[in-house]
Homo-oligomer: A and B are copies of this chain.
Amino acid sequence: MSSSNSGNWWKHLALYGIPLGLLMASLQYSRLHLLTYGQSEKWYIAFIAILFAAVGIWAGMRWNRKYPLSSPTAPLPVLPKEQLLAGLGITPRELEVLEQMAEGKSNQEIAESLFVSLNTVKTHLSNLFSKLDVQRRTQAIQKAKSLGLLP
């Protein structure tokens, strides 16, 4: 129980189990409808082997493929920054913290740079995250850039 997994078993069940179950179902189907008994047994087995290998290859390539971002992000509206800030309810101080965070600084470094306490920076960031609707600073940077809040 060291980490993670216990909450994700169903995810893997869906990922591996269901496709395999469908394969088994199709196997059964094909046996019911396509097979005539006799010497074709070995051909049938070969067919199954090839079929499953092909499906496996397809699945393997598909699962391992990276999912590209949503194509080219449209430039979108170049609205005045103030309106963006107002619309999101982001205060000037929060913007400052955001900018420094985007430069790769730690909360501690931001605090020292702005002459405030670490707790204050955390509070600003916490509010900022909820306003940007994100969970992590990396996401916040992404979103802020896509919104035009950051260069």
Contact = CB atoms under 8 A, between A and B. Distances in A.
Nearest to A56: B56
B56 A115 contact: no
Interface residues of A, number: 74
Contacts of A32: 28, 31-32
A63 interface: yes
A79 interface: no
Contacts of A84: none
Nearest to A137: B138
Given A4-B6, A53-B55, 10 more contacts: A12-B16, A16-B16, A17-B17, A41-B41, A52-B52, A54-B56, A60-B60, A64-B65, A66-B96, A66-B100
